[in-house]
Structure 1
Amino acid sequence: MKISAAALLFDNDGTLISSLDSVIRCWTRWAGEYGIAAEDFAKVELHGRTASEIIADLLPPERHAEARARIERLELEDVGEGGVVLLPGTAELLASLPEGSWAVVTSATRALAEARLRQVGIEPPLLIAADDITHGKPHPEPYLLGAAKLGADPARCVVFEDAPAGLESGRAGGMRTVALATTHERHELRADVVVDDLSGVSAQVTAEGVELEARG
């Protein structure tokens, strides 16, 4: 499938990189420290959500600030422990894109997202993080902010996501979507096209922007 775009907006974890090992390790330790029962912790979705949203499901409001600071510290300390890897096709696709045509839109905090991306050698021209928004995915705010910062019409933006909530965020913003089957089964992903990972996507620079070819 070919898609013409003015700007490309990439989720981070599960799309460009995988930090699944680190996430599980840190949040499991955090849950133990805060006395969260294993059965309660198992019910909470960790992927694609902000730390604030996860914590709100597990702890009373008066403990939120302290708990956010603790998980942030644990995850930052864990970045160099081998839990962050570059996913297939990421380096090649990003290297082919013109400057100012793409951004990373993540549910992580800016400090954590920058640390993880730096670990695998990625320096995005624009990063939209949890610190920058009021409403997280599946609300369209994160991707609409990314489009606005790049000066691109949302209808001419393409969102790359591995999670249903992120894909919903892109669709709600009026954007085209490419789903990556890296963390969810294909039947769970509603998008214009579904690929295994970014190795199934190539880009060619044109006078109008970027011509994408996604091979599902």
Structure 2
Amino acid sequence: MKIQAEALLFDNDGTLISSMESVFRCWRRWAEEYGIAAEDFERVELHGRPAVEIIAELLPAEQIPGALKRIEQLEVEDVPGGVVVLAGTKELLTSLPMDRWAVVTSATRPLAEARLHEVGIDFPVMIAADDITRGKPHPEPFLLAAEKLGVDPARCVVFEDAPAGLESGRAAGMKTVALATTHDPAELVADLVVRDLSAVSAQAIEGGVEITTED
């Protein structure tokens, strides 16, 4: 299948890289520090959501700023050795013109940058939790990325592994490609579902990028 676009927008964790072991390790330590009962912690979805939203489900408002700083500290400190690049990521990104893609992540900028730098990925544009007022599944993160790249949202393709991120891309009026790296394909609503980025190739064309998928 071939898709033409002016820009490609990539989620980070679960799409370009994986830090899930680090994420669960750090959040469990954080929950213990804040005295959160195991059953309360287990019911909260961690993946693909801004930390501030997760914390708001577990702690009173006055504790959120300090708790947010603490989880970011724990996760940044855990980056060395806690991040792996996913199949196909570097091959795809190096084939793209630098002005035609962006990273759109629910992590804070310091954490997302640390994770990408750990695996040797440079990025032209990043939209992080620090840049937005409403996280995924709201369309704001992807709309802001399109604005930064100077591209019509309808001419963007979103690559995501999480249902909330795919919903965000759809709400922004963008085509979506789901990666079955962290969820069962049956849970993923997208224009196209692939196993990971190794099933995707791209080449620059006049005015944008042409994507070819194996799946």
TM bracket (short chain) = over 0.9
- Residues 193 and 214, structure 1, Cα contact 8 Å, conserved in 2: no
Aligned to 2:179: 180
How many residues are paired up? 215
> Any idea what the Cα deviations from partners look like across 1:74-128, whole Å, max 9, x if unmatched?
0011001x21000000000000001200000000000000000000001110010
Matches within 5 A, 1:1-216: 1-80=1-80, 82-216=81-215
Unmatched runs of 5 consecutive residues or more in structure 2: none
Quote the Cα distance in structure 2 between the aligned partners of 1:57 and 1:12: 23
Quote the Cα distance in structure 2 between the aligned partners of 1:60 and 1:99: 42
Quote the Cα distance in structure 1 between the aligned partners of 2:172 and 2:72: 29
4+ residue runs of structure 1 moved beyond 2 angstroms?
Answer: none
Unmatched runs of 5 consecutive residues or more in structure 1: none
Quote the Cα distance in structure 1 between the aligned partners of 2:50 and 2:185: 24
TM-score, normalization by structure 1: 0.99
What secondary structure does 2:178 align onto? strand
Quote the Cα distance in structure 2 between the aligned partners of 1:176 and 1:104: 16
Task: Give the residue type in structure 1 aligned to 2:66.
Answer: E
TM-score, normalization by structure 2: 0.99
1:214 CA displacement: 1.8
Task: Give the residue type in structure 2 aligned to 1:199.
Answer: S
What secondary structure does 1:47 align onto? coil
